[in-house]
Structure 1
Amino acid sequence: MIDLFFYIKAFAAITITLIAILLNPLLNLTTLKNSLANNNQSNKLIYFLKKYRLLEDIHIIPYFFKAIGQYVYKINYSKTFTNWYTFKKQANSNPNRLFMRYPVKNENMNKIKKEFIFEDYTYGQAEIMIYKLSSYLVNEANCEPGQIIGMYYQNNPMFIFLWYSLWQIGCIPAFLNYNIKGSPLTHSIKIGKLQKIFVDDRVAKNFVCDIEDNIAVHYVNEKQLFSLMNDETSNLFVQKHSIRTPVTLKDYDPAMLIFTSGTTGLPKSAVISWRKSSIGCSLFGRIYHMEDESTNVFTAMPLYHSTAALLGVCAVISQGGSFTIAPKFSASNFWKQVYFSKATHIQYVGEICRYLVNTAKEINIDAVNKINYERDHNVKIAYGNGLRDTIWLEFKQRFNIPVIGEFYASTEAPFATTSFQVGDSDGVGACKSYGPIVSTFLSLQQVLIKTDPEDPTCPYRNEKGLCEVPAHGEPGELLMKIFFPKNPKTSFQGYLGNKAATNSKILRDVFKRGDAYYRSGDLVKSDKRSRWYFVDRLGDTFRWKSENCSTTEVENCIMSNPLLKKNGNETQLLEECCVVGLKIDGYEGRCGYAILQPNQNESFDKLELVNLLLPRMLKNLPKYSLPIFVKYVDEIDHTNNHKIKKTSYRNDVLPFGVNGNETIYFLKHYKEYVRLTNEEYKCIKSSEIKL
């Protein structure tokens, strides 16, 4: 029966797609695009197409077939399917078009004109600078084709130039999170098989780890490199096509590595394939209307994450537009930077939206020049993930944003879902919202399944041992079909150097024996109009401060040495610990919450003990992974198969637990743990004390 439904859907999708393609030239696309952010109902055809979400289907589908056809040709004949050739094409076609924009300084406000100043680079300038930097990488840094090269770097132009120079010479860049240090950094370098690492001098103090002698670490002298790249007499190095893209290269081979936390307890090296970074990002750019030459995507998100790197930079380059990168997010400067950069698109995560909504309106008003930065900008589309429906409309209306593009994606996932929400009611909060044509197509690949009521991390299986689709409104785990189950890497490339973690993301025998699906590890629910809404993450991760945090990593750090000094002697004071993500009123995501089971045979001061643990955690964990709250229990709850029952802890209640009589400790100002009082908790909720 599953196979029959599959072919019926496939036939329906093809039929209505052909109709859409035939309709496409009959419609005035300029009129359609101009109407996207306009709720005017005077044009009956436009109103009909928008109401039933057909307008975006017609915008996407013809481009999809054209792009796929060109991509297949590039794979099989010209061998130009990698991102380097996407950039090269734009540089050849539009050398004088803006490529990248960057604030000159962090304190970059011109005090006289009250405007931000930017460094601008055109496509043509960027191409020549990349060739010159390539010469340095090959001749001075001894980078060789096929090597995996680490980048421990902040947001700035050199990040982009290094990245594309590595692609140009045939290397594989690996983006390291510059917040990690110690054992997680050492682990990342090892599993990523990095052979060289370029370190940004601005974050060099964080680069503390144990690495093998054969790994070369280059502390970048940016002033020297930019001097070389701007010198007209500098040598250029253009890699041979046959070396940059050998005939053996597949489109599912690694284009880059991005490190992400997971249930293993340490970062995993997610393989980003050429397919995902090129054709995937190209389709994403089309979906979010980046095809206009004036498009400028503003991002203050770290480039070591896939959201900024892939869905920001790669997506807009695929369409020939430009991007602005801020060195870091600043709530007070955000809309000024957006205004002066002339950005048409901005990227967000839910936390950023909340920070912006909580800022005073006065900081964005220039009374002298009569500018309201948060409303007088050029932004047409804000896109990202984690924008909760509780502030969705407030964010949209206050900041004068016509379209919200909430999407679902993860670094390692071989797919993404998107929405294009124009109005103020229909589809608010959805991370997947298409018209019937695209929805029918995607239903061939993307599906939700029921989870086990006792353990949501496990799929529910019926008496036949197969999975089932949940009802509308019922959360289920999001899966993606792997069309060649015997060779999953054609769909899901997994994690380099971690076969076990890769296999754990593949679920087999889902709807029939022998099939295979990629597991997202996330709970999603649907409505009756095929829209999807993100619910929560499964398993041992939580999201805090725009970062995915591994509970196992924190647990391992706490328990790496349970012997703590008591009266000058080392004594085992901890038996076990459990870390979860805890929801806090008024905050996006979940913060770290550690439950500690002490040695009952020892007497100790609980507050003193948790503060004894703090130096270890500060040394080995990034700030966003630190447990903000801690409590002690006599015994941590376990299931019959000895798994910790994390659900009850994830739903704990502050400030005194579910029963209202527990003692919970709070990491105040990230300096020391103190006992959480009712007054302290009120200050946290009112943001007088910031988490």
Structure 2
Amino acid sequence: MSTLELAAAALLGTQLLDAKYSIKHDVLLVQKVVRSAIPYLINCARGRASFWYYFEKSAQRNGSNRAISFPRPLKNPPPIETDSNGVKNYDNQFEVENYTYKELYDIVLRLSYILKNEYGVTPDQTIALDCMNKPIFIFLWLALWNIGALPAFLNFNTKDKPLIHCLKISNVTQVFIDPDCSGPIRDTEPEIRTELPNVKLHYMNEVELLRVIQDRATPKYRAPDHTRRPEDTDSSCCALIYTSGTTGLPKAGIMSWRKAFMAANFFGYIMKIENKSNVLTAMPLYHSTAAMLGVCPSLLTGACISISQKFSATSFWTQAKLCGSTHIQYVGEVCRYLLHAKPHPDQQAHNVRIAYGNGLRKDIWLDFKKRFHIEAIGEFYASTESPIATTSLQYGDYGVGACRKYGGFINFILSFSQVLVKMDPEDENEIWRDPATGYAIRAKNNQPGELLMKILNTKNIEGTFQGYYGNKKATSSKVVRDVFRKGDAWFRTGDLLKEDGDGLLYFVDRLGDTFRWKSENVSASEVENELMGSQAIKGSVVVGVRVPNHEGRAGFAVIEPKDEYLNGTRTDELLGKVYQHAQKSLPKYAVPQFIKIIEQIESSHNHKVPKNQYKNQKLPRGDNGKDVIYWLNRDRYEELTEDSWDSIIKGASKL
């Protein structure tokens, strides 16, 4: 073999090794971490942990770059245009608003002046934002960071007791409300006035406010550094994002400055968000996916964050085209909606190269890439409160469905801090412990196990896991001790994942009482508690059940009616009362899609209801074909027949 042939063979061998073990990728990522983390830690020591400084530097460096693009839906749009071939053009349904980094920075300083001088916002306050996806959300958010106040991102669907709870646990002093989503908070206003009389509600005049903060005559305010919480460390709270939990009420997940920085710097790097990138998100900004993994990476690098006010399969690709997006964010449900939608004239007229998010199912992964000409899928695993995040940027056929895809070197390093543990086969919520040692064991390859993250300093849990604002009990419940040795401590994700022989990680399912439906986390306990308010039942069990061709799990409620409804002659009245109360007191996505009526809900010896027996409920009529189950058909529950079940599966009837 000649020298040239030997060199070619050696090069091919190196390429094959790199393809399998991602050596080059690992080296570059480690270099990125080192180059970024050291200056960040130095800045934290100097009292500059706030992400504000990174935004400000980026705004000054990228003044003429687009920072925000917003295809605002027209309130009275003209008819959709159709050409001679019958192809529809949706461009005229939107008016695109663009803001450069210089314009954004100036707007934020003017808004800061207004917040400080007209509303009395100070660094010690928690200010809630109740807004749809609009530039005003980001303007308010950054202005609060400038002043040093703590923003709390409310889910604008929340109402009644859960809403009051959100305001109370976070010590919110003022709420800025978008008029386009103010319904739930207006409905709850009397209760807020009674229970939280010191909380100020501000219904914004968006048009007037936008005019004022773009007027050059409006004064600017850039807060002095010494007033911007210089005592903050990397683990201090930068924002509150609410998450469902098993307590029955939302919890305020603490977003730390470190998490914002790491999301912007490392996650953005892995997803190739660069200076000329344009990231379109239709995910709600009150969730960490859009806020931390969409907005923060864009603002750090000088990229443009494009905001879709509301996801629509009909206009999504039109918005991507109008904004010039290179990246889009998704959750699995969004991908399925787009894939099942009719062919769209703009589905290949866009510049999108990378789609990233979580929950894209393996069975539609490649179809999604092919149909919409997407080069790479960036699937990740993370949760609002979790200190763990894993990533996978997949270009070819290898790694389809994985949420973690690194090389051997990084996998080796992570193996000391991130582990999958075997679960108790009799109770999927409990970690299995070896009777001989009392310690947990690692799950085997391709065996589902709960993902845990090691807490390095057991005397300072908050240094690794900041937990939930004002809820020490819920925070401590996420920490398990004495896992592999006496005295150790680990963060419990509450999620089942599995790892294959190549070190790739795949999401399996959620543990406990929280399930995901319509891109939202649903607390089973919250739904159970609210159903009791119908005054028609003695008790209920709520779980999430799988429905073919639908993402996540649909709400399934097993209800035990009061005695007067047991004879079956008043079933319609019973179901009507349950629905009327549920739709009034719960967000739309949390209203049970299926209901089963039983005479008595059995509990175990320790007074716990064994929910697993309901999670595997076979639809439409149970294993024996005799169960009577009801489904929510628009605004009423009716019997789930074979025909209606077939219609649901085919998508003709919507859940």
**TM-score normalized by the length of structure 1:** 0.88
Which residue of 281, 294, 302 maps to 1:299?
A: 281
| Residue aligned with 2:430, SS | coil
2:299 is paired with a residue whose SS is: helix
Counterpart amino acid of residue 182 in structure 2: A
Matched, 1:99 2:82: no
Alignment partner for residue 576 of structure 1, among 539, 543, 555? 539
Gap regions ≥5 residues in structure 2: 1-9, 83-88
Superposition CA RMSD, Å? 1.8
What is the aligned counterpart of 1:523 among 475, 485, 496? 496
Matched, 1:455 2:419: no
Partner of 2:415: 443
Find 1:130's aligned residue among 108, 121, 135.
108
Unaligned runs of 5+ in 1: 1-40, 366-372, 565-573
Cross-structure match for 1:37? none
| SS, match of residue 351 in structure 2 | coil
Moved more, 206-215 or 680-689: 206-215
Contact 1:182 1:620 in 2 (8 A): yes
1:408 to 2:381 alignment: yes
Alpha-carbon distance, 1:245 to partner: 3.1
Report sequence identity in percent: 43
Contact 1:106 1:327 in 2 (8 A): no
User: How far apart are residue 83 of structure 1 and its match?
Assistant: 1.1
> In the alignment, what sits opposite 1:680?
644
Measured after TM superposition, the shift of residue 379 of structure 1 is: 1.4
36, 54, 61: which one aligns with 1:86:
54
Residues 304-361 of structure 1: CA deviation (Å, up to 9, x unaligned): 0000000000122222211100000010111111122111111000000000000111
Counterpart-to-counterpart distance in 2, 1:429 and 1:662 = 35
2:424 aligned counterpart, secondary structure: coil
What is the aligned counterpart of 1:290 among 273, 279, 291?
A: 273
> Cα distance, 1:46 vs. partner?
4.9
Counterpart position of 1:183: 161
Kindly provide the amino acid, as one letter, of the partner of residue 138 in structure 1.
K
Aligned to 1:611, the other structure's residue is in SS state helix
Q: CA deviation at 1:142?
A: 1.0
Moved over 4 A (4+): 41-48, 106-114, 599-602
The correspondence for 1:606, drawn from 571, 576, 588, is 571
SS at match of 2:626: coil
AA at the equivalent of 2:339: V
Partners of 2:198 and 2:18 lie apart in 1 by 60
Equivalent position SS for 1:484? coil
Return the alpha-carbon distance in structure 2 between the equivalents of residues 55 and 686 of structure 1. Answer: 45
1:626 aligns with 2:581: no
Superposed displacement of residue 56, structure 1 = 2.5
Give the Cα separation in 1 of the matches to 2:120 and 2:356.
39
Question: In structure 2, the residue corresponding to 1:627 is in which secondary structure?
Answer: coil
Q: Structure 2 counterpart of 1:333, which letter? A: S
| Alignment correspondent of 1:221 | 205
**Residue in 2 that maps onto 1:395:** 368
Residues 195-235 of structure 1: per-residue CA shift (max 9 Å, x gap): 11001011112213222111111111112211111111111
The reply on whether 1:62 has 2:31 as its aligned counterpart is yes
State the match for 1:430 in structure 2.
402
Tell me if structure 2 keeps the 8 A contact 1:607–1:675. Answer: no
- Asked if the contact 2:49/2:232 (under 8 Å) is kept, the reply is no
Secondary structure class of the residue paired with 1:420 = strand
Q: Quote the Cα distance in structure 2 between the aligned partners of 1:395 and 1:639.
A: 45
**Structure 2: how far apart are the matches of 1:114 and 1:614?**
37
User: What is the aligned counterpart of 2:321 among 339, 345, 348?
Assistant: 339
1:7 corresponds in structure 2 to none
When normalised by structure 2's length, the TM-score is 0.93
Measure the CA separation in 2 of the matches of 1:518 and 1:676. Answer: 41
Match of 1:655 in 2: 620
Question: Are the counterparts in 2 of residues 67 and 279 from structure 1 also a CA contact under 8 Å?
Answer: no
Corresponding residue for 1:558? 531
Q: Per-residue deviation at 1:603?
A: 3.3
Provide the residue aligned with 1:146 in structure 2.
124
CA distance in 2 between counterparts of 1:302 and 1:332 reads 18
Q: Deviations over 1:128-171 (max 9, x none)?
A: 11000001100111111121000011000100100000000110
Q: 1:334 to 1:43 in 2, by over 3 A?
A: farther
- Are 1:71 and 1:279, in contact at CA under 8 Å, matched by a contact in 2? no
Deviation, structure 1 residue 625: 0.4
Aligned length, in residue pairs: 627
Q: CA deviation at 1:80?
A: 2.4
Among candidates 354, 358, 361, match of residue 385 of structure 1: 358
Q: Which residue does 2:450 correspond to in 1?
A: 477
Q: Which residue of the partner structure matches residue 49 of structure 1?
A: 18
Amino acid of the structure 2 residue aligned with 1:97:
N
Q: Is the 8 A contact 1:152 1:197 kept in 2?
A: yes
CA offset at residue 519 of structure 1? Answer: 0.5
Is this contact kept in 2: 1:345–1:381, CA < 8 A? yes
Task: Please give the alpha-carbon distance, in whole angstroms, between the structure 2 residues aligned to 1:465 and 1:42.
Answer: 50
In the alignment, is the contact (CA less than 8 A) between 1:184 and 1:620 conserved in 2?
Answer: no
In 1: Cα distance, 2:11 partner to 2:101 partner: 41
Q: Deviations over 1:77-129 (max 9, x none)?
A: 3x223111110010111111111100132577895986454111111110011
| 8 Å contact from structure 2 (residues 71, 322) kept in 1 | no
Matched with 2:226 is 242
Amino acid at match of 2:172: L
Which of 514, 521, 524 aligns to 1:548? It is 521
State the secondary structure of the residue aligned to 2:292: helix
